[in-house]
């Protein structure tokens, strides 16, 4: 699992639909997720640490989770089905960290809760590989050249099977 961070919310210039942008720790890859306006507002408020007099939906969800003795341990964006991402929220019981409950969620709702709980956001290797876009194509090309150079420089004789002795001293 790759840990990701909320970079921000932007708008799709074609249809003005909000896009949640998650970045990896190195800011080399970004995962864009199209979300609804209400979720974008909620995430934006959490990022700005704004509060309102009456709880919004995600604030209410957080209050319920906490009042039942749970906390948001982490969220995971773990699958992509027909272009839609699927997520899960892992809750742990405050009095016994061994008791966990995993709840299916939309990524936008899961991220809105993670921000309020200061919980980590993870993305599965499959979603990371299929859904992220490069933010540094120059570095990607450099790594690709370095890897190809490495592959071209090795020989089968460079490897030793377990239990066999190397001819190299």
pLDDT of residue 154: 78
- Within a domain: 115: yes
The span from the CA of 24 to the CA of 139, in Å, is 15
pLDDT of residue 167: 60
Range of the domain at 28: 2-154
- Within a domain: 159: no
Give φ, ψ of 145 to 5 degrees: -65, -45
- CATH number, residue 75: 3.10.690.10
- 10-residue mean pLDDT series, the chain (169 residues): 94 94 92 95 94 92 95 96 94 87 96 97 93 76 68 73 66
Provide the domain count of the chain: 1
What is this structure's pTM? Answer: 0.79
- Within a domain: 165: no
pLDDT digits (tens, 9 = 90+) for 21-46: 999 988 889 999 999 999 999 999 99
B/e letters for 102-113, b = 16+ CB within 10 Å, e = fewer, are: eeebbbbbbbbb
- Within a domain: 64: yes
pLDDT of residue 83: 85
């Amino acid at each position: 699992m790759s840990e990701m961070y909320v970079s921000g919310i932007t708008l799709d210039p074609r249809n003005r639909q909000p896009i949640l942008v998650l970045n990896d720790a190195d800011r080399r890859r970004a995962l864009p997720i199209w979300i609804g306006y209400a979720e974008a507002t909620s995430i934006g408020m959490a990022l700005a640490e704004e509060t309102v007099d009456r709880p919004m939906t995600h604030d209410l969800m957080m209050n319920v989770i906490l009042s039942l003795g749970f906390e948001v341990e982490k969220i995971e964006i773990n699958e992509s089905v027909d272009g839609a991402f699927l997520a899960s929220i892992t809750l742990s019981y405050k009095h016994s960290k061994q008791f966990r409950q995993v709840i299916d969620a939309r990524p936008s709702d899961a991220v809105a809760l993670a921000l309020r709980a200061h919980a980590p956001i993870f993305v599965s290797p499959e979603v990371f590989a299929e859904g992220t876009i490069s933010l540094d194509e120059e570095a990607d090309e450099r790594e690709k050249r370095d890897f190809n150079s490495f592959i071209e420089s090795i020989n089968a004789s460079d490897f030793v099977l377990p239990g066999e002795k190397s001819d190299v001293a």
